[in-house]
């Protein structure tokens, strides 16, 4: 396990569609472990393979919900609903944030490192992270979704103050 270099800005790997994983082997296990190590080192909640230069449909998410790390290999969104707006950032665009609206609820199917199919359902930060990483696998970055927040929107930290 090691920490990989996160690709940033206009690097081509961030803007290309990823290929499906076909081999659930030691190479995939190493990639998943490295993604987790890299994500944690940079204090992120998710990281996708293209962010470290690997054009495969692989991402990891850890939203500290007590379920540990979600391994998403060849993920497929089954359904989504609701809407949440909030500030979003990305490890590939350090120091940048913007207001993004995403579905508040998601059901996603994905394989784990052993090729076992799982179905995950969640809302809030989990849903936001799934859609953010899913976009990376399609060669999209969150900046294309940034808009002005509605006039009545307040960040949670502002509401608590």
The verdict on whether 133 is a catalytic residue reads yes
The residues facing 56 across adjacent strands are 19
Tokens of residue 21, six digits: 């994983």
Catalytic residue among 121, 133, 148, 159, which? 133
Closest C-alpha to 89, from 122, 121, 47, 56: 47
Closest C-alpha to 109, from 75, 145, 85, 148: 75
Instruction: Confirm if 63 and 129 have CB atoms less than 8 A apart.
Output: yes
In the chain, where does DSSP find H-type helix? 26-41, 125-137, 156-160
Query: What residue has token string 């927040």?
Result: 149
**Strand 84-89 and strand 70-81: pairing?**
unpaired
Residues with a known catalytic role: 133
């Amino acid at each position: 396990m090691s920490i990989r270099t996160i690709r940033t800005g206009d690097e081509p790997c961030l803007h290309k569609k990823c290929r499906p994983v076909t081999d659930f082997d030691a190479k995939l296990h190493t990639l998943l472990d490295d993604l987790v190590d890299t994500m944690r080192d940079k204090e992120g909640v998710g990281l996708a393979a293209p962010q470290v230069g690997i054009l495969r449909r692989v991402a990891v998410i850890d939203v500290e919900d007590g379920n540990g790390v979600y391994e998403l290999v060849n993920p497929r969104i089954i359904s989504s609903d609701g809407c949440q707006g909030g500030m979003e950032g990305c490890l590939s665009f350090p120091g940048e944030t913007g207001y993004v609206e995403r579905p508040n609820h998601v059901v996603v199917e994905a394989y784990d490192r052993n090729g076992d199919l799982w179905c995950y359902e969640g809302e809030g930060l989990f849903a936001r992270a799934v859609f953010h990483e899913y976009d990376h696998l399609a060669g999209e970055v969150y900046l294309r979704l940034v808009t002005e927040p509605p006039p009545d929107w307040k960040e949670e930290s502002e509401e608590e103050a």
